[in-house]
Structure formats: C-alpha cells, structure tokens
Structure 1
Amino acid sequence: MAKFYDRLTTELQDFIKAQHIFFVATAPKNGRVNLSPKGMDALRVIDAAEVAYLDLTGSGNETAAHLLENPRITIMFCSFTEKPLILRLYGRGEVIHSRDAIWQEYLSLFPAIAGTRQIFRIKIESVQTSCGFAVPFYEFRGDRQVLKEWAEHKGEEGLYEYWQNKNQQSIDGLPTGLL
C-alpha cells in the first residue's frame, strides 16, 4: 500500500543517497510530458523538504522550459536491489542558472562535472512510497562517461554554442531561459 508523507524521513533520505538513478517528470500547461532518467551523482538532499539536482547538457532542455511555465515536478526513485521500494517526490521546481546569486551555494554541493548547464531546486510538497514488488533486480556497474567526455571535448565555448543552437526552446517551442 502507498504511504504519504509531508517531508522526507531520515530513512527516505538515506534511500535517496544510495540510489544511482532517478527519474524526473514535468509537463507544460499544453504540450508533451517529459520523463528523463538522471544519474552521475547529480542529486542532493538539502533537507527534509528540499532536493536539488545538477542538470547536465543534453539534446533538449525540456525540464527548464516546463518549470518556467508550470513549476510542478515529480522525481521518482526505485530500488533495484533486495529491498523493494518506489519513492516519489512531488513538488515545485525552479531553475538556478550560473547568473543567479545562489548558483555557487548550490553548485558547491556537487562534484565538478563537465557540461554542467543549470541546477534544479525542488521544494517538496508531498512524498509517496509504494511497494515496488514488480521492479526487477538490476546491478549498478558504473556511470557512463560518454556525456562527460563529449562535454570536455566541446569545451566551454563549444558548450555555449551548443546551448545557443539546441537548448533555447523546448520541443513544443517554449523558452528555456538558459541564456
């Protein structure tokens, strides 16, 4: 049975810290729902009511565009190990850019990763757990290095050019606010 919480318990915070992958879902008022897998040690529990994750350069920038128009966001974690559990965080998200006053404060929480584009801060409104009994077992073998190597090869100027050309609007034509 599903259980709901107002905040993250210590046990749920520990569960999050042990995960290698999480999933982020957002949607504009009209348009496509976006669901993306994330990894690379990119999520931090700030406190029982807030998490943040480091957003790396990608082919799109849907989450940023969606949050500018509709701040609702869901983050999901699921256990692929012995103890089954699905954890969903429902909340309101906002984008933190390098030009924002709080950028350095949040950036300092993460390892330096080439291709860092922005940070998403999520204020948690509700937390839900469910059984996860049907989630299969999987083993974590390591993080892929392809994105990091691609970003390192592009360099700062190349990334900025990529952001200008590929990350300025969502696939539904919404602005992302990146630059």
Structure 2
Amino acid sequence: MAKQYENIPERWARFITEQQIFFVATATCDSRVNISPKGLDTLRILDPNRVAWLNLTGSGNESAAHVKTDPRMTLMFCAFSGEPVILRLYGTARVLHPGDADWPALAALFAPLPGARQIFDVAIDLVQTSCGFGVPYFDFAGDGPDLRAWTEKKGEEGVRRYWRERNAVSIDGLKTGIDDKNRS
C-alpha cells in the first residue's frame, strides 16, 4: 500500500543512504521522458525536503536539458534486499555547473570524482513509498570502474571537449547549458 509524506522521514532517509543505486526521471512537455541510473557516492540529503546529487559525465545530458525548461524531477530508490520497498522523491530541481556561485558549497559535500559536470539541487514536495513486491533481489558486487578510468584517461581538457561535443544538446535538441557554464 502506497504511503505519502510531505518530507523525508528519518526511517526513509536511512533507507535512501543505504542504497547503492537510484534512478532519476525528467521530461519537458514535448521531450522524451528520460530515466537514468545513478550510482557511486553521489547523493546527499540536505534536509527533509532537499537533496542534492552529483552528476558525472555520461553519454547524454538529458536531465540538465530538461530541468532548464521544466524543473520537475523524480528520484526513485528500490530495495534489492531486505524489506521490499520502492521510494520516490518528487520535486523541482535546479542545475548547478562548476562555474556557478553555489557550486563550491555543494561540491564540498562530495568526494572529488573525475568528470563531475553538474549538481542537481532538488526541493522535495512529496515522498511516496510503495510495496516493491515485484522488485527482484540483487547482491551489490561493487562500483563499476569504467567511468572513473575513462574520465581519468581523457583528462580534464578531454572531458571538457567531450562535454562541448557530446553533452551540450539533448537527444531532442534542447541545450543543456554545459557549454555556457564550464569554460575554464
């Protein structure tokens, strides 16, 4: 049975911090819906109605493009062991790039990771849990090494070039803002 909350209760805050993966969903009124898995140590609960997550370089940059037009964002967490539960955080996000004034304060909350390109600061207006009975059990075997190795091999300038070439526009042709904010 689904339960709704106006903020993140302590019980569910502990659940969120124990998860190794979460999913982010965004869309505009006329774009494709994007759902992305996120891992590593890239999420922080700032208070019961606010979270921030560090976005690393990837093959696309849909969330940034969508949030510029429509700030709605949903984060989903699933229990892959223990009590079956699905938890969703609904809210509105703002995207921060390394050149933005608020970047240093939020970036300090995360261990430095190569390829960090944005932080999403999400104001939560609804938390919902549901049963998760259909979610299979999985064992966490560790973080994948490929993203870190790829970004370290490219180097800082190579990553910035990749952002300009591959992350500046969404698959629907929406600008992501990365080319405007990340010039050094």
TM-score w.r.t. length of structure 1: 0.99
Tell me if 1:134 matches 2:141.
no
Q: How many residue pairs are counted as aligned between the two chains?
A: 179
Q: Which residue number corresponds to residue 182 of structure 2?
A: none
Question: Quick one: which amino acid aligns to residue 135 of structure 2?
Answer: V
CA offsets per residue over residues 119-139 of structure 1, 9 Å max, x none?
A: 011000100000111111100
Query: SS at the partner of 2:16?
Result: helix
Q: Measure the CA separation in 2 of the matches of 1:54 and 1:48.
A: 18
Deviation at 1:162, TM superposition (A): 0.3
Structure 1 residue 102: Cα displacement? 1.1
- Any conservation in 2 of the 1:95–1:120 contact (CA below 8 Å)? yes
Give the structure 2 partner of residue 161 of structure 1.
161
Q: Secondary structure at the match of 2:178?
A: coil
Runs of 4+ that moved beyond 2 A: none
The 2-side partners of 1:167 and 1:82 are apart by: 37
Paired residue secondary structure (1:175): coil
- The unaligned stretches of length 5 or more in structure 1 are none
Match of 1:69 in 2: 69
Q: Summarize deviations over 1:78-137 as a string: whole Å, max 9, x none.
A: 001121110000000110111111111100111111111110110001000001111111
Structure 2 matches for 1:103-142, cutoff 5 A? 103-142=103-142
**Coordinate RMSD, CA, aligned:** 0.6
Identity value in percent: 53
Please give the alpha-carbon distance, in whole angstroms, between the structure 2 residues aligned to 1:80 and 1:53. Answer: 21
Structure 2 unmatched ranges of 5 or more: 180-184
